Amino acid sequence: MNRFAAAALPLALLGALASCAPTITDTAGRLVNAVSGQEGRVLFLGGFQPRPVVVGTPDNVTVQLGQDLYSGKYSVIGNQNALGVSFGFGVGSSFGGDSGDRRSGYGGLRTSAEARNPTGPGNLILKTQRLNTAAVKTITCDFQADASGHGVGNCKGSDGSTYALQF
């Protein structure tokens, strides 16, 4: 077996395995009432993606909370597409006083936790559909999301309820 065939075989096997993997299209999370503990399911349709709200686009999130079904849109802004690498160079030296200890160093490629996993602020606005004479209920949330699509936040309902959001 030549080198090319030996290298191509593992790549072909990985491709075959990847084609069998399920496609994740939706991202789920939860919404929990801070007083009662009632928990609802949050579903980001099409998966969670950093994006601004565009007028005329369909709702991109649903929440089932008890008997109520909410739908709405979320928006995330911020530096979600950072490369995760920063470059720095520094030269320094230090003299150790009486000991005569001399150190010098040169900087190089540096990364920071914030650059590797930036967060962006977002908000979520949900409402129920008007059924018969029932009033429309709303929930608004402010959250922080990272580049991997995970986030936490706080929400407030039109009835004064407060919620914790996790996804």
Instruction: Identify residue 58 by its one-letter amino acid code.
Output: P
Q: Which residue has the higher pLDDT, 90 or 59?
A: 59
Does residue 6 belong to any structural domain of this protein? no
The C-alpha R_g of the chain, in whole angstroms, comes to 25
**How far apart, in whole angstroms, are the C-alpha atoms of residue 51 and residue 10?**
36
For residue 162, the enclosing domain spans 37-78+118-166
Q: Which residue has the tokens 């209920």?
A: 137
Does residue 162 belong to any structural domain of this protein? yes
Per-residue confidence band for 134, with pLDDT thresholds at 50, 70 and 90:
confident
Number of domains in the chain: 1
The structure's pTM equals 0.63
Does residue 107 belong to any structural domain of this protein? no
Does residue 141 belong to any structural domain of this protein? yes
* Average pLDDT score over residue span 50-65: 89
Instruction: Identify residue 88 by its one-letter amino acid code.
Output: G
Does residue 136 belong to any structural domain of this protein? yes
**Quick check: helix, strand or coil at residue 149?**
coil
Does residue 60 belong to any structural domain of this protein? yes
**How far apart, in whole angstroms, are the C-alpha atoms of residue 107 and residue 61?**
45
* Contact assessment for residue 93 and residue 102, using Cβ atoms and an 8 Å cutoff: yes
Residue 121 burial (C-beta neighbours within 10 Å; 0-12, 13-18, 19+)? middle
Instruction: Identify residue 27 by its one-letter amino acid code.
Output: T
- Residue 23: the pLDDT is 42
- Residue 78: the pLDDT is 67
Choice among 27-36, 73-82, 107-116, 153-162 with the minimum mean pLDDT = 107-116
Expressed in angstroms, the distance from the first to the final Cα of the chain is: 48
Q: Which residue has the higher pLDDT, 79 or 136?
A: 136
* Average pLDDT score over residue span 143-166: 95
Does residue 104 belong to any structural domain of this protein? no
**How does pLDDT run across 60-117, given as a tens digit for each residue?**
999 999 999 999 999 988 654 444 444 444 455 545 555 554 544 444 444 454 455 5
Does residue 57 belong to any structural domain of this protein? yes
